[in-house]
Amino acid sequence: MAFSVCEPYFALALLVQRAYVAQVQPAFYKIMTFRLSPYSRPWAALFALGVLLLPQTAQAQKYRTAAGLRLGKNNYGLTVQQKILDKTTLEGLALVGSREVSATVLAERHFGILGPSLNYYFGAGGHLGTHKDNGGFGGLDALAGVEYKVAFTPIVLSLDFKPTVEFNSEDWARFPTAFSVRYIFIKEKNTGLFDGLFGDGKSKKKEKTKTKSNSRPGLFDF
């Protein structure tokens, strides 16, 4: 009897083993034995050099204040982002749906992927709103997204996934995705708390002077 209970698991393990031998193992062998042609080797070397140089310059975000439109499947509205600490941003959302309105506040942490123009971020926060049929509601939010600063323009594009846990609502949980377009009002210039809004630039000048006196020319400094 014990063997009959375990028999489906043995059969599944056998199928996985056969799939590995037939598909995964040959593909893995091809990857491990892959060789570049003589014509593609210079390009591969340049790519490897670029990868090695990226960690030295990768920083998250190229702006301090940005605002724009957020478009989702069931709602739309305004989004405002304000950088308050290094790699940390507060975002406020004012959203309108077919039968409800809501306001959300999120704290987000940004991480550079390929320099400051492309980064991913995680966050959490909460929201309050009102529904035409059920009245007031609230909830907790999580956030994961990717954003891109369009080159030579003050535009930021982002795509995010924002699951929520709802209180006093017909839905106990929601899993929306949305696309946002923001305009950069204040670029990244200083490093202090709210320096982009209220800073006088003195700390930045001191930092520049200190950097010039202590820094050595790099390989690609001209």
User: pTM of the prediction?
Assistant: 0.60
Binned average pLDDT, 10 residues per bin, the chain of 222 residues: 52 56 54 53 52 46 92 95 94 96 97 86 97 93 96 95 94 94 87 43 49 44 36
Return the pLDDT at 117.
87
CA-CA-CA-CA torsion sign (154, 158, 163, 166):
positive
Has domain 63-190 been given CATH number 2.60.40.2380? no
Return the pLDDT at 195.
44
Return the pLDDT at 134.
87
Note whether 187 and 176 are within 8 A (CB). no
Return the pLDDT at 123.
97
Note whether 187 and 178 are within 8 A (CB). no
Return the pLDDT at 213.
46
Tokens encoding 152? 């030579």
Three-state secondary-structure class, residue 180? strand
Return the pLDDT at 11.
56
Return the pLDDT at 116.
73
Can you give the residue ranges of every domain in the chain? 1-34, 63-190
